[in-house]
Amino acid sequence: MSQAAKNSKGGVPLIYNPAARSQRARKFTDDLVGLSPAPRLFTTSGPGDGRRLAARCAREGEKVVAAAGGDGTLNEVVAGFLDAAREGHAIPALGVLPLGTMNVFALEMDLPGDDFENGWKIVTSGREREVDLWLANGHPMIQLGGAGLDARVVAETTASLKNRLGPMSYVINALRILGEPAPKLAVDVDDNSFRGALVLFGNGERYAGPARVFPGADPGDGLLDVLVLHQQGPVDLVGFLGALAAGKLERFPGITLTKGRRVRVRTAADSPGQGGSGTLPFEIDGEAVGELPLEIEHSGHRLRVRVGA
């Protein structure tokens, strides 16, 4: 009998990634163990653990499963839910305690940050909000993804650098990559085609922090929001970031903002090679998970998330 089955009459399962705050992992573990009502704590030790644990919980009929970590941990847990759903099991509601380097989905859902006590109250007794679940080349996507500059930054930022510098680690790598030739991407959103150096897609307004990259986006409308940045030079990026900071992104002429039910991204034939293999990565929920070409479509499932009042 599995550990989850033995404790099926206990508290809410809480899948925890101690590496999300590795320098203070012991303190955070103590905080989580001290929550009331007491959770059943399941610790991950490597890639795929969260997925396997979440699938097990769903197969054993858990109504709510919580995840403590960053967006990558949440993605693993939801991947496990979908594994169980493909076998005919119900998808549990998701509870979130944000602990990672970036917690974009938690910001989107307006969940508290390091306030574990309040966050746990929401997990155990909050209302539920439904959001769409997308598949990117078969890989689940909860909140965001991208190809181009941001995907290279994610792919080339090591865990040790993130642990030392936090979000600044991404900035350092972005500045380095900006000195290299920008890719050329071909992007299809339903029946419309675009070209650009960077493409971002979101299942909500937020991307990489508190800024609203997709103004007015609704995570439950069945549509994926897409931003195409046509050029990637320093001037273009300064203009883009300025418009973003001013809340006037939709007026910036260097981008296209659109939405659709299916998105395809590939490297254009005239794109300069990237790296030794000439391939370009894409990232999903802050993790590099594959290389172009990429196709995103709705999974056919919706996720219930525990949120506040």
Please state which architecture CATH assigns to domain 3-125.
3-Layer(aba) Sandwich (3.40)
Query: Model confidence over 103-119: pLDDT tens digits?
Result: 899 999 999 887 889 99
pLDDT in tens, 156-169: 887 777 778 777 87
Is domain 144-299 given the CATH code 2.60.200.40 in the classification? yes
Write out pLDDT tens, residues 215-239: 899 999 999 999 999 988 878 888 8
Secondary structure class of 12 (helix, strand, coil): coil
Residue 71's contacts (CB-CB under 8 Å, 6 or more residues apart) are 100, 102, 103, 104, 105, 142, 143, 144, 285, 286, 287
For the chain, the structural domain boundaries read 3-125, 144-299
Give me the pLDDT at residue 8, please: 41
CA atoms of 191 and 258, how far apart (whole Å): 12
Backbone angles phi, psi at 273, to 5 degrees: -60, 145
Reply yes or no on whether the pLDDT at 23 is more than 60.
no
The predicted model scores a pTM of 0.86
Residue 275 has a pLDDT of: 42
Q: How confident is the model over 54-82, as a mean pLDDT?
A: 95
| Rounded Cα distance, 219 and 142, in Å | 9
